[in-house]
């Protein structure tokens, strides 16, 4: 059941971002890293589906931000993303508590000081893994991000292996 639910959300995300391959690729990469970190960190399976859906939709407000604010800044994404996500999740078989958690995480995924659970932490780490590579961050910047934001051992290991860093 959970896998088909995630697949349906992925399809909705792809349709929503129609023509924007960059954003679709970003969401799928964040999803993949989130899932991997979660599974290897023994995240409870009931939380995994919520995390996977959140990872797929975390930047769903970005087009609206560009339209409204001429910006893709994180704080604007946090404003615009939750209601778009809620709309896309209409018709998907999810508990209200799960939808609330998904939209909370989308509405705070750039507010790193508000991390309140392992799902939130994993989402942040997965997003950084993708963005650091895509943005061609230098080693000093990567090390600063690792020190400041990475908490899971799996996330740190992936980061270290990706960028050939010392532990």
pLDDT of residue 159: 98
Question: pLDDT > 90: what percent of the chain?
Answer: 93
Of 8, 9, 14, 1, nearest to 103 (Cα)? 9
Each domain of the chain, given as residue ranges in start order, spans 2-162
Of 65, 63, 39, nearest to 52 (Cα)? 39
Q: What is the dotted CATH code of the domain comprising 2-162?
A: 1.10.3210.10
How many whole angstroms separate alpha carbon 68 and alpha carbon 76?
Answer: 9
Rounded to two decimals, what is the model's pTM?
Answer: 0.96
Question: pLDDT > 70: what percent of the chain?
Answer: 99
**Is the model's pLDDT at 125 over the cut of 90?**
yes
pLDDT in tens, 51-85: 999 999 999 999 999 999 999 999 999 999 999 99
Q: Are 77 and 62 in contact (CB under 8 A)?
A: yes
pLDDT of residue 1: 53
Burial class of residue 77 in the structure, from the number of CB atoms within 10 Å of its CB (0-12 exposed, 13-18 middle, 19+ buried) = buried
> Tokens 């959300």 belong to which residue?
9
How many whole angstroms separate alpha carbon 23 and alpha carbon 37?
Answer: 21
């Amino acid at each position: 059941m959970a896998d088909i639910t995630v697949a349906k959300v992925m399809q909705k995300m792809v349709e929503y971002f129609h023509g924007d391959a960059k954003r679709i690729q970003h969401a799928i990469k964040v999803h993949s890293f989130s899932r991997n970190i979660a599974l290897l960190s023994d995240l409870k399976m009931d939380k995994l589906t919520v995390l996977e859906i959140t990872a797929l939709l975390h930047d769903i407000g970005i087009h609206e931000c560009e339209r409204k604010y001429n910006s893709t800044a994180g704080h604007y994404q946090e404003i615009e993303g939750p209601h778009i996500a809620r709309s896309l999740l209409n018709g998907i078989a999810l508990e209200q508590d799960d939808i609330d958690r998904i939209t909370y995480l989308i509405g705070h995924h750039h507010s790193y000081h508000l991390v309140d659970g392992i799902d939130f932490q994993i989402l942040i780490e997965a997003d950084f893994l993708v963005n650091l590579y895509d943005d061609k961050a230098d080693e000093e910047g990567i090390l600063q991000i690792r020190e400041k934001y990475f908490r899971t051992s799996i996330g740190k290991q992936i980061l270290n292996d990706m960028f050939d860093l010392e532990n």
